[in-house]
Amino acid sequence: MATLRDIQRRIRSVQSTQKITRAMKLVAAAKLRRAQERILAARPYAGKMKELLGNLVAGADGAIHPLLEQREGPRRQIVIVTADKGLAGAFNSNVLRRSLEFVRSSNTQEVTLVVVGRKARDFYRRRQWPIKRDMLGFWDRLAYGHAQELADYFMQQYLGGEVDEVYLIYNEFRSVALQRPVREQLLPIPRAENGGGSGAEVDYIYEPSPEAILGDLLPRHVRMQVYRALMESLAGEYGARMTAMEAATKNAKEMIEVLTIQYNKARQEKITKELLDIVGGAEALKQGAEA
């Protein structure tokens, strides 16, 4: 049986943990709002870009850009995006598990890994997979420049013939409470993304040629895809942390309740025992006096 003092100490410890989880929840909620606003702010550009891309690919007949070309090569680059920090529920482990399946199902001789976020780096380092490139510690100041740097690196390798395809694995932000690990083909740019367009052929005046414009547009499309993935992952991380910390705060509250009841019970028992002792003592004295 724990002593009164032990229980009190535990209650205090759980209370201070609860303070921390509550603060973390509030911080995550504030950051989540900002991250969501950024996703919304990027939409007009991304949407229009996609439409233009569709029109251009339809317009530029025959002229296939290297970034669109489907190669049959086996060298696969896998990009895994996680957070730098934990305490976000299953956020990191879900995407890591998903990525590990994919990495294992690929031909190991031909796979190169690029890890974004400290959790992904640690995970693959522990398993002693060679890591081609990592990118860490930038999440708090995520900017378009980071996406550009990564995307340009992928394109440079792809165009240089070092890799034949590039896949992104990251957490997609579905809602505050729901993030889902997804796998997307980044390079070559999948056909589904560049087909279609607005349907109605527009007879544009092109300046310079459609092919040249396409050559300018495709790299920006790839950068935007990477930027979007990073933003989704960031918003997802905050969402997951917020949910996890809310649950932790609730658990702490329940724990405090249970401990308080235990404390009261123990206190009651102690008093009863003391009373019994006093009564017993008095009884003994009385009997002693009678004898």
Partner 1 sequence: MADALQLEIATPVRLVVSDMVDEVIAPGSEGYFGVLRGHAPFLTTLGVGELTYRKGRDEYHLAVAGGFAEVRNDKVIVLADSAERPKEIDRERAERARHRAEQRLGGRGQEEIDYARCTAALARALTRLHVAGRPH
Residue 51: CB minimum distance to partner 1, A: 9
Look at phi and psi of residue 8 and say left if phi exceeds 0, alpha if psi is from -120 to 50, else beta. Answer: alpha
Are 200 and 216 spatial neighbours (Cβ–Cβ below 8 Å)?
Answer: no
Answer for which of 62, 104, 126, 202 binds partner 1 (CB under 8 A) is 202
- The answer to whether residue 34 forms part of the interface with partner 1 (CB under 8 A) is no
Report the site for partner 1 in 55-74 (rule: CB under 8 A): 55-56
Beta carbons within 10 angstroms of residue 263's beta carbon: 18
- The answer to whether residue 216 forms part of the interface with partner 1 (CB under 8 A) is yes
Beta carbons within 10 angstroms of residue 259's beta carbon: 19
- Token pair belonging to 26: 């509030």
- The answer to whether residue 207 forms part of the interface with partner 1 (CB under 8 A) is yes
Binding mask 128-157 for partner 1 (x = CB under 8 A): ----------------x-------------
Q: Report how many residues bind partner 1 under the rule CB under 8 A.
A: 28
Name the strands in the sheet holding 131-135, side by side, starting at the edge strand that comes first in the sequence: 131-135, 111-116, 76-81, 165-175, 178-187
- Token pair belonging to 102: 């994919």
Give the separation between CA 264 and CA 67, rounded to whole angstroms: 70
- The answer to whether residue 199 forms part of the interface with partner 1 (CB under 8 A) is no
Answer for which of 44, 130, 199, 288 binds partner 1 (CB under 8 A) is 44
Q: Which residues bind partner 1 (CB under 8 A)?
A: 38, 41-42, 44-46, 48-49, 52, 55-56, 144, 202-208, 210, 212-213, 216-217, 220, 223-224, 227
